[in-house]
Structure 1
Amino acid sequence: MKKYIILIIAFLFSALCLNVFAQTKQYPFEVIKTGKGKQSIIFIPGFASSGEVWNDTKRVFEKDFTCYTLTMSGFAGVKPQPNPSFENWKNEIAAYIKDNKIEKPILVGHSMGGGLALAIAADYPELIGKIVVVDALPCLAALSDPSFKSKENNDCTATVNKMTGMNETQFYDMQKQMMPRLLQDQSKLETVVSWSVKSDRNTFGQMYCDFYNTDLRAKIAQIKCPSLVLLESYFINLKPAIEGQYKNLKVANFQYATNGLHFIMYDDTAWYMGQLNNFIKA
């Protein structure tokens, strides 16, 4: 009898430990969960952006879907974690899906978030139901250098030092000058700049360098789920190069925005929402 009591105590202790682990596990992102639908959508923002970039989008879908909106650690005021990397973020989003038993979610990712959606769907093809890639490429560096090859053990020290070496005014001015190349809607400009300014500079530099060194052109051949790729209007001029990068993604539907820049959800909202509705609700 004593042996059975000891076994029961050991079992209860193990269950308690597992429960505590589940409650305290730290993922490299914050999550806001809304909606109560059976099908789930996971929204992944782009580089240095807040999950708030999806606010207007998720309002439309949370009536019928359970929505998980991420903001990555170190971006837009979220507490940073040490040693951020694209690979780690990819694996941890997949771990979150498994740990929370989210059945075949739809991933919607913008910019670097679109890259993460591609990488997750490639490395975990049985985990994902559909993906929507909003203005992202499998290999950003290859747009200017088609022969680009990513470096193993890439040293990002110089990029990190450049970002952390700026004072607040210099960094703000850099973002203010750069953002109009990415965003046409002037009413959103200060909001998007503020997300960058609130970001941890070490994370900013490390992830900029790491993502620029990422090449998913071969890996996307492993993606099995239906995929919608929404691209900014200018990219129609680079269609052969863009779709050449995506040639291994056999399940993709490519659509080019009618106007605007990188933040398609702000610059061509009606077209963007129509594309998402048709694809997600199909």
Structure 2
Amino acid sequence: LIGHSMGGALALALAADYPDLISKIVVVDAVPCLAAINDPAFKSKMNNDCSATVNQMTGMTNDQFYDMQKKTMPSLLADTTKLDMVVDWSVKSDRTTFGQMYCDFFNIDLRERIAQIKCPALILLESYFINLKPAIEGQYRNLKTANFQYATTGLHFIMYDDTAWYLGQLSTFLKQ
């Protein structure tokens, strides 16, 4: 199971909830608790109210939402040839779902739950995250099968920014 960003958190959650079902996971540029990067004491909220985020996303005009995505994506993607494609994916997303998922993603905390994961786990991280290595690897301390690899170039969309490295990491891990 391979997941990028929110999908990486989903891969962690599924592997924790179904430890005998999944044989390997690849987590691409995701951490067990995004909010804990800035606040290590973060505690997720039960019944988190995402209505403000959903209302903000759904309250934008198409042009406003497009402009927001067009301004945000360059901080996540160094390969400018892929910029329009990634922005287009965002713009085509259902805004209610987009807002709900964005809000939920900042409330999830899998730091303890990942102790249930039994399968090998390849954790691929963008180059900047080497600067946060102790905090990131600390979040994964309960995942005993974690194999951390940090890209040497690129941003959040490392599959585009450092494609050869990314595909090499996948190939090696999947063959093991």
TM-score bracket, shorter-length normalisation: over 0.9
* TM-score normalised according to structure 2 size: 0.99
**Structure 1 runs of 4+ with >3 Å offset:** none
Whose Rg is larger? 1
Match of 1:142 in 2: 36
Asked if 1:117 corresponds to 2:15, the answer is no
Quote the offset at 1:122 in angstroms.
0.4
1:259 is displaced (CA, Å) by 0.1
- Selected match of 2:162 from 268, 273, 276: 268
Q: Summarize the alignment of residues 56-135 of structure 1 with structure 2, pairs less than 5 Å apart.
A: 107-135=1-29
Give 1:157 shift.
Answer: 0.6
Render the CA deviation track for 1:117-142: whole Å, top value 9, x for unaligned.
Answer: 10000010000000010101000111
Total equivalences in the alignment: 176
For residues 84-117 of structure 1, the C-alpha deviation after alignment (integer angstroms, 9 at most, x for no partner) is xxxxxxxxxxxxxxxxxxxxxxx01111111111
Secondary structure, in 3 states, of the residue corresponding to 1:153?
coil
Counterpart AA for 2:141: K
2:153 is aligned with 1:241: no
**Corresponding residue of 1:217:** 111
CA RMSD of aligned residues (A): 0.5
How far apart are the structure 1 equivalents of 2:124 and 2:102? Answer: 22
Q: Quick one: higher RCO (CA 8 Å, sep 6+), 1 or 2?
A: 2
Question: Which residue number in structure 2 is paired with residue 207 of structure 1?
Answer: 101
- 3-state secondary structure, aligned to 1:179: helix
Task: Summarize the alignment of residues 10-49 of structure 1 with structure 2, pairs less than 5 Å apart.
Answer: none
1:167-222 CA deviation, whole Å, 9 max, x = no partner?
01110000000000100000000000001101111111111111111000000000
Return the match for 1:154 from 48, 59, 62.
Answer: 48
Please give the secondary structure, in 2, of the residue aligned with 1:216: coil
Distance 1:236 1:127 in 2: 31
Q: What residue in structure 2 maps to residue 180 of structure 1? A: 74
- Which residue identity lines up with residue 39 of structure 2 in the other structure? D
Secondary structure at the aligned position of 1:253 is classed as strand
Q: Residue 169 in 1 paired to residue 63 in 2?
A: yes
Listed one character per residue, the Cα deviations across residues 208-238 of structure 1 (whole Å, up to 9, x for unaligned) are: 1111110000000000001100000000000
For 1:131 and 1:194, how far apart are their aligned partners in 2? 27
CA–CA separation in structure 2 for the residues paired with 1:148 and 1:276: 32
TM-score (norm 1): 0.62
Question: Partner letter of residue 208 of structure 1?
Answer: Y
Higher-helix-fraction structure: 2
- Partner SS state of residue 188, structure 1: helix
Distance in 1 separating the partners of 2:13 and 2:64: 34
CA shift, 1:281, in A, is: 1.0
